[in-house]
Chains A and B, each alone.
Chain A
Amino acid sequence: METVTLQDYKTSEKSWWCPGCGDFGVLAALQKTLVKLGIPPHRVAIVAGIGCSGKMGNYINSYNIHVVHGRTLPSALGVKLANRDLLVIAAGGDGDGFAIGMNHFVHAVRRNIGVKYIVMDNHIYGLTKGQNSPTSDHGQKVKAAPFGNVESPVRPLSLALTAGATYVAQGFSSNQAQLARLIEGAIAHPGFAFVNVLSPCVTYNKVNTYDFYKQMLHDLDEDPDYQPDSRGGAIAAVLEREELVTGLIYHDPGSVAYEDALPGFAEQPLAGRDITLGQEDFLELLASYR
């Protein structure tokens, strides 16, 4: 194992996040986990979306690609397929993942792509200054919905579970130790690993605050009666508590990643492979058009 330090993962960039933003906790937990696992920065690719959370890549000295709004997961799949030796982490917010990018979320789940997906879920649009997000509570009043949110929130954990996710966890940005553990589990998991992080927006969300979560969250990791090995049990548990839980919610030990299921797909990274087509192969292919 190479010696990797926290310094290796820092950049010279000054943070744009508001003081107290939950995303600081997510960044720190991620950096600590990468250091703990001894993964050198050049072996990590982070694919970030648009929004406050999308700035993640600006502050972490790995390979970073900051894509168009909502498309982190297909881009991340592209990175993974090109170089399957990389640790590919997709990071974004609840708007990026569950509104404009919802389509891709469900499909990434059912494909079981070898990408780790960290969502910083603050239940609000922060960067556009406080509109409801798809996870905002029913009734939440904001400038764009002055009479209250008439929509029901997306339930990311239930959604992932019913779509067939093989690793589902939820962390809280204040609980660094648990979050780091959940990210570590995600990295070890073959296939798609979803870590939803409740990451309060201190500027625009006056409902889902640190205090709110400290009161409401139930830690399944500490619950002796909970076993994260049953999809049905996991669905029941998150429904019962309206998703106000933390910990490892579900884990399928038999998970096979998309890139391992693809027929004939190269076991070594495509990037760097000899891609020349041999004359014999070419003529053989041409012959089928006679």
Chain B
Amino acid sequence: MPKSLAWMIGGDQGEGIDATGDVFGRVLSRLGYCIYGYRHFSSRIKGGHTNFTVRIAADRVLAPQANVEVLVALTQETIDRNGHLLLSGAPLLADSQLKPVLPDGCEARLVEIPLTQIAREVGAAVVRNMVAVGGSAALFGLPLDAFEAYAREKFERKGETVALQNVEALRRGHAFIEELGLRGRFSLPAPRPRERYLMTGNDSLALGTLAAGCRIMAAYPITPATDIMENLAGLFPRFGGAVCQMEDELAAITLVIGANYAGARAMTATSGPGFSLMQEGIGLASMAEIPAVVVDTQRVGPSTGMPTKNEQSDLLAAVFGGHGEGQRIVIAPGTAVQAFEDGFEAFNLADRYQCPVIVLSDLALAQWLQSVENLPLGGHAIDRGAIVAQEELDRLTGEFERYRLTEDGISPRALPGMPKGQFLATGVEHASSGKVSEAPQNRISQMEKRSRKLDALRARAGAIETSRMDHAEVAIVCFGSIVGAVDEAVELLRQEGVRAGRVQVRQLWPMPDIPLATALGGAAKVLVAEQNATGEMRQLMRIAGLEDDRYRSLVHFDGTLLTPGRVVAAVQELSVKEGV
């Protein structure tokens, strides 16, 4: 278990809770700590409880912590809902104005601090949260100047007065806790400073797509995918690109198909409800062999489900959604670094295999902050796949054969604007020329051509990633953001003498059955952990022949992110019942 501490701030939505968490996390990150920042919120703008937790460690952590060391409460509801997360004697910083009361059974130490009053004295009620940040800095014995420097930088553009008010708020909060003799109540482990960034998966994914040369993004706003659109809207004008906010997801996906057909790199990003609407378009991209990158940032479904909660239940829709039998590639990043890599690689796969590529992200990865190291641009090269050379078109005596039958199923495409490359791209079944054909033999050969394009991907390097699998008796298989929780569980289990290991599936379709079979070969038990009710990845594994009496499922679908504790408990239960 990495030594870590957690700090939580809670209040009503619209009170700047996220922004405050962001400040606290970012300063700690600059001080050399690794951060995981996660939040609880609802689908509304003002009102309703929200909280933001900053987990602080010397090494990378990518999962929520079961308890918190410090709770800052701006409302009584925050105390009532979260007070139990504090261990006995841990400080609960509450605004005196609330006349806060600890709930029955809560053994935390209530520290009343006049946040609102101090903020008013400083001259602006809005700096209340910064008083709390200053007080928190004191509790952890952190150098206040780092917070002051950040506040100056952040609020500079709002004018000298605002910046000074924020600095003063920090100082007053810090002094208040110091006077109570609570300075350094918690000591953090020594930080390991290095070049590090604090990003969400949406941030890094957007950056990955930009680096891949994506210059057109079409989308319809939807939680938790919207940040990708907003990030790119800020970035693209500088690089000649455009973000188009469309009237719906039907328009978004078909714009992307048009743009890719015409030779640009274009993408869309959505979540479950929008992804359902895109299925017909995705089928067109499969059929007409047009590259298309679709990011599905999963949330709880079906229908509107729980829009601000965690789930990984679009997997089967990503692989099999839509009518007919079309080819898709489905990849799933689990960390912000992987989101960058997959944001980049998705375009190479789409161009190389001329088909839709679905990047399955999920809410925790998409929106929660994590420390990022080693995000090199260098390791990635743009590969536009097979595009016919103009000289070859110039030599043609007849029509360009866009869908020529080839051994690997991939046929070079022409891009509009290339002389003599004209062809019809259509969602109707077509002959190798592109012309419509309903001939039975042609149907078979074109279906087989499209299908065999993906054969090589079953063994693609990087389709799975393993950790601690040497001599592992229990293999925990997972995908997406829960990889952090699984890794932490593996360490906890190892401390208890259980030889556990982790296998992360990064390419979910085509299922990498060959490397998976090898990786899982030595394990006595295989626990497939996923955040859905029906074990969707396990179903895919079964289709790929990865199923025998060693396999078990851990399904988690209450909307919270799977915790290391839950994974450990599941493995322990296996040991008790089945004697691993």
Contact = CB atoms under 8 A, between A and B. Distances in A.
Given A68-B427, A74-B246, A81-B216, A271 B377 contact: no
Interface stretch (B70-78, B195-203, B298-306, B473-481): B195-203
Interface stretch (B114-122, B207-215, B494-502, B538-546): B207-215
A277 B377 contact: yes
B452 to A, nearest CB: 24
Given A43-B417, A68-B254, A262-B242, A82 B424 contact: no
A54 B382 CA distance: 35
Interface stretch (B134-142, B233-241, B458-466): B233-241
Interface stretch (A57-65, A128-136, A151-159, A214-222): A57-65
A86 interface: yes
B109 interface: no
Given A41-B422, A81-B259, A289-B197, A264 B238 contact: yes
Given A63-B416, A262-B242, A290-B30, A78 B261 contact: yes
Contacts of B377: 277, 279, 282
Contacts of A208: none
A45 interface: yes
Contacts of B258: 47, 65, 67, 74-80, 82
Contacts of B235: 285
A63 to B, nearest CB: 4
A99 to B, nearest CB: 14
Contacts of A76: 258
B389 interface: no
A67 B284 contact: yes
Interface in A226-270: 259, 262-266, 269-270
Contact of B421 (A42, A73, A77, A78): A42
Given A78-B255, A104-B251, A107-B247, A266 B216 contact: no
B265 interface: yes
A57 B263 CA distance: 19
B420 interface: yes
Contacts, number: 207
**Interface SS, B side:** mixed
B213 A82 contact: no
A11 to B, nearest CB: 8
B213 A45 contact: no
Given A68-B280, A74-B246, A74-B254, A270 B426 contact: no
A290 B421 CA distance: 47
A276 B215 CA distance: 11
A41 B400 CA distance: 13
A262 B242 CA distance: 7
Nearest to B210: A277
Size category, B interface: 35 or more
A271 B415 contact: yes
A243 B343 CA distance: 49
Contacts of B331: none
Nearest to B284: A68
A75 to B, nearest CB: 4
B218 interface: yes
Interface in B228-270: 235-242, 244, 246-248, 250-252, 254-266
A144 interface: no
Interface string A71-102: 10111111111110110000000000000000
Given A63-B423, A270-B215, A83 B262 contact: yes
B253 to A, nearest CB: 8
Contact of B244 (A43, A79, A81): A81
Interface string A150-176: 000000000000000000000000000
Nearest to A107: B247
B281 A68 contact: yes
B197 A66 contact: no
A273 interface: yes
Given A63-B416, A269-B417, A75 B215 contact: no
A104 B416 contact: no
Contact of B262 (A40, A45, A264, A281): A45
Query: Chain B CB within 10 Å — which of A76, A259, A290 has the most?
Result: A290
A286 B197 CA distance: 7
Contacts of A275: 212-213, 215, 265, 382
Query: Chain B CB within 10 Å — which of A78, A279, A286 has the most?
Result: A78
A272 interface: yes
Contact of A271 (B372, B417, B425): B417
Given A265-B242, A286-B197, A83 B254 contact: no
B524 interface: no
A272 B263 contact: yes
A163 to B, nearest CB: 12
B199 A289 contact: yes
Contacts of B254: 67-68, 71, 74-75, 78
Contacts of B198: 289-290
A28 B405 CA distance: 33
Given A58-B436, A269-B417, A271-B262, A276 B425 contact: no
B428 interface: yes
Contacts of B262: 45, 78-79, 82-83, 86, 271
A64 B424 CA distance: 5
A64 B418 CA distance: 13
A62 B257 CA distance: 18
A273 B436 CA distance: 32
A282 B424 contact: no
Given A264-B237, A282-B377, A270 B216 contact: yes
Nearest 7 Cβ contacts at the A-B interface: A78-B258, A264-B237, A275-B213, A271-B263, A266-B240, A82-B264, A82-B262
21 contacts: A13-B436, A42-B419, A58-B436, A65-B425, A66-B424, A68-B280, A74-B258, A77-B255, A78-B255, A78-B258, A79-B416, A82-B216, A83-B417, A103-B247, A107-B247, A264-B239, A266-B240, A286-B197, A286-B375, A289-B203, A290-B196
Given A68-B283, A265-B242, A271-B415, 14 more contacts: A43-B417, A47-B258, A58-B435, A65-B426, A66-B427, A68-B427, A74-B251, A78-B264, A82-B259, A82-B262, A263-B237, A270-B215, A271-B417, A286-B375
